[in-house]
Chains A and B, each alone.
Chain A
Amino acid sequence: MAKRVGMEVSIAISEAVKLANVDVISAYPITPQTHIVEHLSEFVSDGELHSAFVPVESEHSAMSAALGASAVGARTFTATSSQGLALMHEIMYLAASMRLPVVMSVVNRALSSPINIWNDLSDIMAERDSGWVQVFAINGQEAYDLTLQAFKIAEDPRVLLPVAVNLDGFILSHVIEPIELFEQQEVDPFLPPYKPVLRLDPEKPVSMGAFGSPEVFIEVKKQVEEALIGSQKVVAEVWKDFGQRFGRIYKPVESYQTKGADTILITMGSITETAMTAIDSLREKGRKVGLVHIRLWRPFPFKEFLQAIKGAKTLAVLDRALSPGGVGGPVGLEVKAALFGKDERPYVAEFVAGLGGRDLTVDTFIEVLDKAEKYSQKQKDFQYELIGVREK
């Protein structure tokens, strides 16, 4: 039976990867991902995990080697952050379009410059269009669960797309949280070994990564798009199965205190739990506020999102990444796009905050909700507001 321990979240993730019995780990260290790969390396070196640990010489090679391994039918894992993810960028698109089900932990960290090791979502947002399935954990248990589930989702023959499990750097990766750990015998029936649909095999030679003319490029991309959109169904199945086996049921979009809420805060990642404290404190004061957090970012769960925010007059979106010179942040953009043309369109107040690890407190969320309601009353016309910049 599962045991609940206090454990550093990075270590918990490596425990999940061990339970998944991965075949190949190819990774390059970068703060704050390091503990995940260090611990995996220990498992391999102690014989606790029967894997090939390939200590590659860069993140670009980490993802490249991962594709090579996945192509021969190995269950493959890597992890990175920030600059490392940016260095992998070229290969990210290839992984999805070549339909290789690599699983990656992205320990979210700001993209330089300035060089900054702390948390925001700019790293993964630069991979938004890569074709990867992307999920966001709000706490350590989720990070552990989502990692285990990621292999099952990725390797499903209806999906065959790589999956990125995002967790906030330091704020999640380096804190000790209560984690319910599974036993191998519970996990094995949930996650059987990888059965590739296509692999590099001298008995049945195929050519992967062929030169694709304009005559065929769109068709391959159409397949990827259909697989990504269709993966939501598989994600739901996996979450249902997981829920039945282990008791925790995940949904693409989660609602907190949204019943009768006039104003709803939209979040992703670990700020969610801090925001929930703000919601509680405001609710005590009689404010009709609630929170919706997005767990499944790609494919974006439009239907579930619209259902979750139904009835709200105002949405306050808290973005952790900025698209300079444009629309504000990626989550705000997605939310506004989801509402476009809909009959029921709440006022959207977008806020970009917490870049480069600037702390977000309960007060920040209260400030954001106050502002959202004020702007909504005035129907203030603005794209977004950058929170916390020192003017004086």
Chain B
Amino acid sequence: MAKVDAMMPWKEVPLGGTILEPGNARKFKTGDWRSKVRPVTDKEKCIKCGMCWIFCPDMAYDPREDGYYDWNGTYCKGCGICAKECPKDAIQMVAEGE
């Protein structure tokens, strides 16, 4: 948890409370926020258009060499935008655990 990491002695706090490690928010797994559903892509229907990727507010899709997009459960908050916007209805929001 970020709060635990903030508990550093005063001499170790970077100058002015500056954060020295760019993009270290990646350590925070916003995927833990998901409670009910997560997106699942049917590769048969997927046309590799990239809408799921470019419309994700959490950058929870990683582009692959073969043109498909890997879902990243570490960060996905389960908003469902990708499922809503997929032009081929290839993405369904399914209950967690399925």
Choice from A98, A209, A210, A219 contacting B9 with Cβ under 8 Å: A219
Stretch at the interface among A49-57, A73-81, A200-208, A330-338: A200-208
Chain A interface extent, by class: 20 to 34
CB–CB A220/B7 < 8 A: no
With contacts A206-B18, A218-B10, A222-B10 known, what are 20 further pairs, Cβ within 8 A? A98-B16, A98-B17, A99-B15, A100-B16, A205-B22, A207-B19, A208-B16, A208-B18, A210-B18, A210-B19, A212-B17, A213-B3, A215-B6, A216-B17, A219-B9, A219-B10, A220-B13, A223-B10, A223-B13, A223-B15
Partner of A220, one of B9, B16, B22: B16
A85 within 8 A of B: no
- How far, in Å, is A202 (CB) from chain B's closest CB? 10
Which residues of B1-41 are within 8 A (CB) of A? 3, 6-11, 13-20, 22
**CB <8 Å contact, B17 and A220:** yes
- The residue of chain B having its C-beta at the shortest distance from the C-beta of A212 within the complex is B17
- Contacting A at CB under 8 A, from B37-73, are none
Determine the distance from Cα of A205 to Cα of B18 in the docked complex, in whole angstroms. Answer: 11
Q: How far is the CB of A174 from chain B (nearest CB, A)?
A: 37
Contacts known (A219-B10, A223-B13); A206 close to B20, Cβ less than 8 A: yes
The 6 closest A-B pairs by CB, nearest first: A219-B10, A205-B22, A99-B16, A207-B19, A215-B6, A220-B17
- What total count of A-B pairs have CB within 8 Å? 54
A160 to B9, CA, bound (A): 20
Q: Tell me, rounded to whole Å, the shortest Cβ–Cβ distance linking A220 to chain B.
A: 4
Complex contacts, B16 vs chain A, CB 8 Å: 97-100, 160, 198, 208, 220, 223
In Å, the complex CA distance between A74 and B19 comes to 20
By beta carbon, the residue of chain B nearest A218 is B10
> CA–CA, A110 to B20, complex, Å?
42
Contact with B along A82-107 (1 / 0, CB 8 A): 00000000000000011110000000
